[in-house]
Amino acid sequence: MRKSPKWLDDTVFYEIYPQSFMDSNADGIGDFVGIISKLDYIKDLGCNAIWMNPCFCSPFGDAGYDVSDYYKAAPRYGTNEDLKLLFDEAHKRGIRVLLDLVPGHTSVEHKWFRESMKAEKNAYTDRYVWTDSVWNEPRGMGCIRGISDRDGCAVVNFFSNQPALNYGFYKSDYSWQQPVDAEGPKATKEELKNIMRFWLSLGCDGFRVDMAGSLVKNDPDSLGTIALWQDVRRFLDEEFPEAAMVSEWGEPDKSLLGGFHMDFLLHFGPSHYNDLFRCAEPFFSDRGKGDAHEFVLKYLESRKKAGSDGLICIPSGNHDMDRLSRSIHGDNLKIAFAFLLSMPGAPFIYYGDEIGLRYVENIKSVEGGFNRTGSRSPMQWDSTANSGFSSASPDMLYIPQDPSPDRPTAEKQMNDDSSLYSEVKRLIRVRREHPALLNRGEIEFVYAEKNAYPLSYIRSSGDEKILVIINPSAENAEFPYKHKPGAPVYLFGEKCSFKDGVITVPSRSAGFYLL
């Protein structure tokens, strides 16, 4: 682990799903020029960094997570020159850009895989994980077989169109399982560095890494994968020390040891993230039947593992989750953002969550989205055709938009001081005005009892201390506290009261109070 670049200290990220953000050429699919046209919107909201989902050449069997050429932008988004212009225009506005790197697998259409399928040995024979016989199906792994003259099964990471790149096996049980120091795995790792070097040299500011913990196989304690990323970290420290690395790993004790600066609390696994936002009774529902206790316990455990330099990211959502507004409604969305934007780590806002973009129900799967497709619908900008996303005919849109006549738009909410957009913008501004609320400030939970409201914690940095009190429930709540809170630096809903060592918290409220 190394100290993070200074620019991460106050970063608020905005995640862009490029095909659904802004279409500039009326083909129904978002593109780089469209993103450039909305950079001022992102800056005005208060976000100063972008995570952009995969934008490389792909047959789009999995929305771009099946890469066919790591060195070329997908033509439907634009050219490499357009992507470089996006970096340049973002930098002019003080916005950094992270690309989504998919190092664990490619598309079956990648030229590396086509070469690896050949029976004759060549430079790409060992670029992927293959068994030594078409009859030897790998245990515990998916595979594709019978697809070429090569005798063997190609291991896949997830979908059957995503063959796994070969970084070796930490423990080899069969002859076809190459060790991490074999020539094939070493060549794959060096090619990964070359890909990163190429895009960093063109101006990107780092990477969000897909399935970062999955590279070395048969690696139960992740020791091989950690060592691999440590080697990548040494390369970055030498050539691109300001590049940021964010891992989709969910285990900060491993990812940060490997050299990543940030790790996500994921919606799958043991984080209890979904207890807050996406379950039968989320904590941020006004029904008041949720529970944040287990989340807090797991968060504290993860934060301890992350250490003083590691950042834990809690996103509003992403392209793999239900939209936040599917389970949380009305003012509770504002209270949820009060939580998200007052926690340590780098916040991530999924495009459209700032206006309450809805999950679009009952639409067919698009490009491997399946149940996730409803969370990937086009951004809604204004009241013009297709909500300003595209001038194409509606039937050409990449994914159908929310058909509701009252669908939220950025334009309406930007002109309404009481809107969700305005509240998110206000929260980002308050966060930046107070060092205690920034990414590296400390946190101490004051009240996070099981099946109880409110949730309260102290954020601190230097001499500044701020007491955060969150109560999304429709009922007033109270908790013991020995000191009367000071003036609020942020308040949604009514102000809390203090009497005889007890703080009473109004329903549907969030407040940040000086101590």
- The token pair at 42 is 């992102």
What tens digit of pLDDT does each residue of 52-71 get? 999 999 999 999 999 999 99
Mean pLDDT computed over 248-261: 93
Residue 502's pLDDT band, with cuts at 50, 70 and 90, is very high
Residue 479's pLDDT band, with cuts at 50, 70 and 90, is very high
As a whole number, the mean pLDDT across the chain is: 96
What tens digit of pLDDT does each residue of 158-184 get? 999 999 999 999 999 999 999 999 999
Q: How far apart are CA 273 and CA 282, in angstroms?
A: 10
Mean pLDDT lowest for which of 181-195, 267-281, 318-332?
267-281
Mean pLDDT computed over 179-207: 98
Domain residue ranges in the chain = 6-102+184-431, 105-164, 442-514
Under CATH, what is the fold of the domain 442-514?
Immunoglobulin-like (2.60.40)
Mean pLDDT computed over 221-230: 98
Mean pLDDT lowest for which of 50-59, 303-312, 429-438, 488-497?
303-312
Helix (H) / strand (E) element for 127: namely: none
Q: Is the pTM of this model over 0.85?
A: yes
Residue 375 three-state SS: helix
Show the DSSP H helices in 434-482 as ranges.
none
What tens digit of pLDDT does each residue of 68-83 get? 999 999 999 999 999 9
Q: How far apart are CA 458 and CA 445, in angstroms?
A: 6
Residue 2's pLDDT band, with cuts at 50, 70 and 90, is low
The confidence score (pLDDT) of residue 360 equals 98
The confidence score (pLDDT) of residue 109 equals 98
Pick the CATH number of 105-164 from 3.30.420.40, 3.40.630.30, 3.90.400.10, 3.30.70.1350: 3.90.400.10
Residue 347 has pLDDT above 80, yes or no: yes
Residue 89, burial from CB neighbour count under 10 angstroms (0-12, 13-18, 19+)? middle
What tens digit of pLDDT does each residue of 349-388 get? 999 999 999 999 999 999 999 999 999 999 999 999 999 9
Residue 1's pLDDT band, with cuts at 50, 70 and 90, is very low
Residue 265's pLDDT band, with cuts at 50, 70 and 90, is confident
The confidence score (pLDDT) of residue 176 equals 97
b vs e for 470-498, b when ≥16 Cβ sit within 10 Å of the residue's Cβ? bbbbeebbbbebeeebeebbbbbbeebee
What tens digit of pLDDT does each residue of 386-407 get? 999 999 999 999 999 999 999 9
CB 380 within 8 A of CB 294: no
Q: What percent of the chain has a predicted confidence (pLDDT) above 90?
A: 95
Kindly report the CATH class assigned to 6-102+184-431.
Answer: alpha beta
